[in-house]
Chain A
Amino acid sequence: QSALTQPASVSGSPGQSITISCTGTYSDIGTYNSVSWYQQHPGKAPKLIIYDVTNRPSGVSNRFSGSKSGNTASLTISGLQADDEGDFYCSSYTGTDTPYVFGTGTTVTVL
């Protein structure tokens, strides 16, 4: 199972919106609505911010939103803040005997 494809880096100014893409295949993102997004600050564990494509866990800012079209999922961060800097990863269920796959990761920089 190959890793999902994400851009290596995305940047934006405070207050702007940015979107991170996550491209898979019909066998994972294209078939299952089990896409999650994680935020990871340096030296910290990943934190779930979006699950099942569009849902936010309790306590996660509504500035984070998710969507999916075909084999590509997207994470949008609106009203960019300095604390949003870090690495972001997507994941998808695959329905195979290697049931989960992660994206390659995207580093977000706030200019």
Chain B
Amino acid sequence: EEQLVESGGGLVQPGGSLRLSCVASGFSFSTYGMNWVRQAPGKGLEWVSYIGSYRPTTFYADSVKGRFTISRDNAKNSLFLQMNSLRAEDTAIYYCAKDLSSWGQGTVVTVSS
């Protein structure tokens, strides 16, 4: 059974940083592109970032470009999202998703003073 487990969320002050992690199991992690998707409280889904399987191809939503960095460690079946210069509008549940087909349960990020 495919499983994705996110961690690393929490409360952070505006301007601060957080690093989210997602550990994958039940599928060949290294062969799939991976995404981060977020959902602000009471709002819809917003695609955040994508990283390719083997090549270091990365893409970002305009709202996070220059502040967030996606990376992966295929040896540890892990996906990461380094979030810097956080803003109140980054407050959301952050989901990791394999090819946007399988999703984790999410980790909550709250940016507030």
Chain B contributes a number of interface residues (CB within 8 A of A) equal to 19
Which residues of B have CB within 8 Å of A45? 95, 103-106
A38 within 8 A of B: yes
A81 within 8 A of B: no
Q: Which of B63-95 contact A (CB under 8 A)?
A: 95
Please determine whether B59 and A102 come into contact, CB atoms closer than 8 angstroms. Answer: no
B100 within 8 A of A: yes
Q: How far is the CA of A44 from the CA of B61 in the complex (A)?
A: 23
**Interface mask (A89-111 → B, CB under 8 Å = 1, otherwise 0):** 10100000111111111000000
Q: How far is the CA of A3 from the CA of B105 in the complex (A)?
A: 23
Residues of A bordering B, CB below 8 Å:
1, 3, 36, 38, 44-48, 51, 57, 87, 89, 91, 97-105
Looking at chain B's contact residues, the main secondary structure is strand
**With contacts A45-B105, A46-B95 known, is A100 near B44, CB below 8 A?**
no
Residues of B bordering A, CB below 8 Å:
35, 37, 44-47, 50, 59-62, 95, 100-106
Which residues of B have CB within 8 Å of A102? 37, 44-47
Please determine whether B44 and A99 come into contact, CB atoms closer than 8 angstroms. Answer: no
Please determine whether B103 and A46 come into contact, CB atoms closer than 8 angstroms. Answer: yes
Best-surrounded residue of B47, B62, B95 (most CB of chain A within 10 A):
B47
Of the candidates A1, A3, A57, A87, which one forms a contact with B101 in the assembled complex, judged by CB atoms under 8 Å apart? A57
